[in-house]
Amino acid sequence: MGKVKATPENVKKAAAIIRGGGVAAFPTETVYGLGADGLNPEACARIFEIKKRPRFDPLILHECSAARASRLFSGVPAAARRLMKRFWPGPLTLVLPKASAVPDIVTAGLPTVAVRVPANRHALALIKAAGRPIAAPSANSFGRLSPTTAAHVQKQLGCGPDIILDGGRTAIGVESTIITFEGGRPVLLRPGGLPLEEIEKVAGPAVKQGRSYGRTPPAPGCLKKHYAPRSKLVIITPGQAVKQGARTGYLAFSKEPAGKFRMVKVLSRSGDLREAAAGLFSALHQLEASGAAVIYAERVPAHGLGRAIMDRLGRASAA
């Protein structure tokens, strides 16, 4: 069926596809997801085939309300409950002990499951119409740039998904923040679309990445090379002298660089980190498509959404 506009009729079609064990790409407020029935192991296995993931990573289950999402967990700490109330629907994923109904392929055999309620009307309508949790990783090929438009999905996955719902450009542009709990304390597994500062106001100080998680594998982001464009990406400080020319692309935070490049993208002329995050992957997709062999990417302030931006740039630059 390919790419279709996310009209109410097409959302219903996509829900029927998911109920029938098929795979539908759909917009969320963060990035596009590649969705299947989260309680059907064979349907979930197709997600990995389409993404060409070399192994089974755990998937995020998407629900349409906190009440329904809670049923996928076997227990919810008080601080996690407060986060759900404050931030769902929104770009926050919680990893907590799983309910028995959650299949092993979703959790990659872990005793915990990742769940979120997306803040996108098409996504919520799709989940409601499907009447079950939708398992969905980002709708990109393994290790490639995340998709923030339906065209990005189509370019990478072609006719892999049974349907691609086009709901326009995603509002946040980077994946959800992933939080788990250990001994009642929040632990940051992946920085993302919800700033850590907001989370800490509600759940208290968080343990940050860079420690061991016991039996929990690191979040996907923790694969060193991830979210990568095909060009070589080099992180620089704004104002730093770099090699110019037709082979070079330049990703600026707020100011146009001096000199000539193959392509220049400025993330936010007003220096707004939210705007920068929303346009990050799109800018990288365009720089990659320009054929630049090297992309210089400026550092952004590492607070608020800047933490997620720097995390994704760091991974894209890993050799």
| Amino acid letter for position 79 | A
Q: Is 28 in the site for ligand TXA (CB under 6 A)?
A: yes
Residue 291: which of 249, 260, 235 has the closest Cα? Answer: 249
Least CB distance to Mg ion at residue 71 (A): 25
Q: Which of 14, 24, 31, 308 binds ligand TXA (CB under 6 A)?
A: 31
Contact 63, 93 (CB under 8 A): no
Two tokens, residue 162 = 């049974």
Task: Give the DSSP per-residue string, 54-122.
Answer: SS----EEE-SSHHHHHTTBS---HHHHHHHHHH-SSSEEEEEEBPTTS-HHHHTT-SEEEEE----HH
The CB-of-218 to ligand TXA minimum distance in angstroms stands at 7
Q: Per rule CB under 6 A, is residue 251 in the interface with ligand TXA?
A: no
Phi, psi of 39 (to 5 degrees): -110, 5
- Binding-site partner at residue 249 among Mg ion, ligand TXA, none, CB < 5 to 8 Å by type: none
What's the CA dihedral at 176, 180, 186, 190 to 10 degrees? -40
Which of residues 70, 112, 149, 154 is near ligand TXA by CB under 6 A? 112
Q: Does 148 bind ligand TXA (CB under 6 A)?
A: no
By CB under 5 A, tell whether 138 contacts Mg ion: yes
What x-and-dash track marks residues 279-308 binding ligand TXA by CB under 6 A? ------------------------------
Residues that bind ligand TXA (CB under 6 A): 28, 30-31, 33, 57-60, 93, 95, 107, 110, 112-114, 118, 136-138, 175-176, 178, 189, 216, 219-220
